[in-house]
Copies of this chain bind each other. A is one copy, B any other.
Amino acid sequence: METKSGDRRVRKTKTILRQGLVRLMSEKSIQEITVKELCCECDINRGTFYSHYADVYDLLQKIEEEMLCVLEEMIKEYSLLDVKGEAAPSPIMSSIFRFLAQNADMCRILLCNNGDMAFVEKVKDTVKNKFMSEWKIRVPENDNNKTSEYLYAFIVSGCIGVLQQWLISNGTQTPDEMAALVENLIVRGAANS
């Protein structure tokens, strides 16, 4: 049996507030959402909110932090290379797209439209670090290459772009299809796809 940390009441309150914020953010941008409004929506006392969070941005940040945590854990379990040592980002991308599909509402809110730029930056950094740590072994001559940071910026931002497009357009492609598509773009190059 799993031991969920803390008081049940606290857990309950936090969960309701998170869900409520996401619900409101699907209707309006974060700037327009007041603490009062959120608490009314969730039927939770305003004082209770302030005993957990400083403001709505603080709550949003907690949500983002948890999400980033999940992403990092997910990324850890995969390699960006296949058994031959060739670049193979497809498995990791597949798991990311599966996660996106399962949390489409929240991901769309955080990563698209009126999303949080700083958060997207953090996601990029996480993925970029993964790429750099695994590929620098494969392509050592890029290590001292000044332009390599731009190469990674291009690839990672490009991936985020594809992923945003998929979320926004409610793409019918499966996570595996998307992963294969992205791998093609990265390994074979954009112009040759």
Contact = CB atoms under 8 A, between A and B. Distances in A.
Interface of A: 31, 57, 87, 112-118, 120-121, 124, 146-147, 149-151, 153-162, 164-166, 169, 173, 181-182, 185-193
A127 to B, nearest CB: 11
Nearest to A192: B189
Contacts of A113: 117-118, 121
Contact of A160 (B118, B157, B166, B173): B157
**Per DSSP, are chain A's interface residues mostly helix, strand or loop, or mixed?**
helix
B155 A157 contact: no
A161 B153 contact: yes
B155 A164 contact: no
- Identical chains bound together, number: 2
Contacts of A165: 149-150, 153
A185 B117 contact: no
B147 A154 contact: no
Contact of A157 (B151, B161, B169): B161
A188 B191 contact: yes
Given A147-B181, A188-B191, A190-B190, 9 more contacts: A124-B161, A150-B181, A154-B185, A157-B157, A157-B161, A157-B162, A160-B161, A189-B189, A189-B192
A31 B57 CA distance: 9
A110 B149 CA distance: 22
14 contacts: A31-B31, A113-B117, A113-B121, A114-B117, A150-B165, A151-B185, A151-B190, A151-B193, A153-B158, A153-B162, A154-B182, A154-B190, A156-B161, A157-B157
A193 to B, nearest CB: 6
Nearest to A177: B147
A65 to B, nearest CB: 17
